Amino acid sequence: MDFSHSQPFPVEIPFLHDLGVEFLGMGDGEASVALTLQPRHMNSWHVTHGGVSMTLLDVVMSMAGRSLDPDARGGVTVEMKTSFLHPAGKPGGRIVAKGRAIHRSSSICFCEGEIWNGDKLVAKASGTFKYLKRLDAGKRMEKE
Question: At 39, which CATH number?
Answer: 3.10.129.10
pTM for the model:
0.87
User: Is 9 within the bounds of a domain?
Assistant: no
Residues 10, 50: Cα–Cα separation, whole Å: 25
Q: What is the pLDDT of residue 106?
A: 85
User: Is 23 within the bounds of a domain?
Assistant: yes
User: Is 3 within the bounds of a domain?
Assistant: no
Number of domains in the chain: 1
Nearest to 76 by CA among 141, 26, 11, 142: 141
User: Is 66 within the bounds of a domain?
Assistant: yes
Q: Do you know the residue count of the chain?
A: 144
3-state SS class at 28: coil
Q: What is the pLDDT of residue 119?
A: 97
User: Is 4 within the bounds of a domain?
Assistant: no
88-106: burial string, b at 16+ Cβ within 10 Å, e else = bbeeebebbbbbbbeebee
User: Is 18 within the bounds of a domain?
Assistant: yes
Amino acid at 72: A
What does DSSP assign to residue 45? T
User: Is 2 within the bounds of a domain?
Assistant: no
Residues 115, 96: Cα–Cα separation, whole Å: 6
User: Which residues in the chain show pLDDT less than 70?
Assistant: 1-11, 134-144
Q: What is the pLDDT of residue 122?
A: 98
User: Is 63 within the bounds of a domain?
Assistant: yes
Domain extent, residue 131, equals: 14-143
Q: What is the pLDDT of residue 72?
A: 80
Residues 114, 122: Cα–Cα separation, whole Å: 8
